[in-house]
A and B are shown apart, each in its own frame.
Chain A
C-alpha cells in the first residue's frame, strides 16, 4: 500500500511525557499536513511542510513541534503532555502544495491517550 502511513496507530502515555508520531506520505508527495481531531472539535490544522520546509502553521502549541526529513517522512513531537492532548492525530499528504488538485490524502491517524 503506497498510501499515507502513520505510526503508531494507538499510544497510551502519562501526563508530562513526550511522544513522537510518525508519518510517511504517499510516494512522490512533497507536502505533509498534520491535523488534530479532538472530541467535537473537528480537524484542527497544526502545521504544513513542503519538501522539508515549514510552510504554514495553525493552532499548534509551543509544546508541539514537527519536522519533515529529506526522505519526506514527517514526525510530530508532543511534549509535556496534558490530558487535553488526547486526540486523534492525522497526517495528510499531497503532491505539491495542494494547489494543483486540492486533494489531501489522509492516513488512518494515531490515537493518543494521555492518562
Chain B
C-alpha cells in the first residue's frame, strides 16, 4: 500500500539547534515527494519538492530511495519555523497526493 509515515507528532528544539523532521514512504515506483507547511492561522502551503532540489527558508530534503525516506532538515532552527509540517507522496502516473499525519515543530527560545 502507498503510505507516508511521519513518526513524530511533536518535535521540540531550541532556537539555533539543528532540526530533522522524518518522513518515510511506502511506494515501489518512482515517487514525487513534497513537504507542506502550515503556520499558525495560515493555509497549508508547499514548502519544497524533491525534484527541485531547492532550499527554502533554509530547509532542505533529500530523497533516499534506498531507505525510502525524505527527511526535512535545517541546520539552525528559528522561532518562526514553528509550524505543522506534512510530508506528501504523489505516485507517478496518478493524481493522488498522499499525506502523512504531520509533525508539529516547536522552536523554543
A residues in contact (CB < 8 Å) with B: 3-4, 31, 33, 35, 40-45, 48, 50, 55-56, 58, 90, 92, 97-98, 101-108
**In contact, B97 and A42 (Cβ under 8 angstroms):** no
What count of chain B residues pass the 8 Å CB interface test? 22
**CB of B108 closer than 8 Å to a CB of A:** no
Which residues in B have some Cβ–Cβ distance to A below 8 Å?
6, 9, 32, 34, 36, 43-46, 49, 51, 86, 90, 94-102
- Which residues on the A side are within 8 Å of B90 (C-beta)? 98, 102
Query: Can you list 21 A-B pairs, Cβ within 8 angstroms, ordered by A?
Result: A40-B9, A40-B101, A41-B101, A42-B6, A42-B86, A42-B99, A42-B102, A45-B97, A45-B99, A48-B96, A55-B95, A56-B94, A56-B96, A98-B90, A98-B97, A101-B49, A102-B49, A102-B90, A103-B46, A105-B45, A106-B44
Q: Give the A-B pair count, Cβ closer than 8 A.
A: 55
A31 and chain B: residue at smallest CB distance: B95
CB-CB nearest 9 A-B residue pairs: A42-B101, A43-B99, A106-B44, A56-B95, A103-B46, A55-B95, A48-B95, A106-B43, A56-B96
User: Complex: how many Å from CA A4 to CA B42?
Assistant: 13
CA distance A50 to B9 in the complex (A): 33
Contact status B45-A35, CB under 8 Å: no
Q: Are B99 and A102 in contact (CB under 8 A)?
A: no
Residues of A within 8 Å of B36, CB to CB, are: 104
The reply to whether B86 and A98 form a contact with Cβ atoms under 8 Å apart is: no
A98 touching B44 by the CB < 8 A rule?
no
Q: Within the assembled complex, what's the spacing in Å between the Cα atoms of A90 and B32?
A: 21
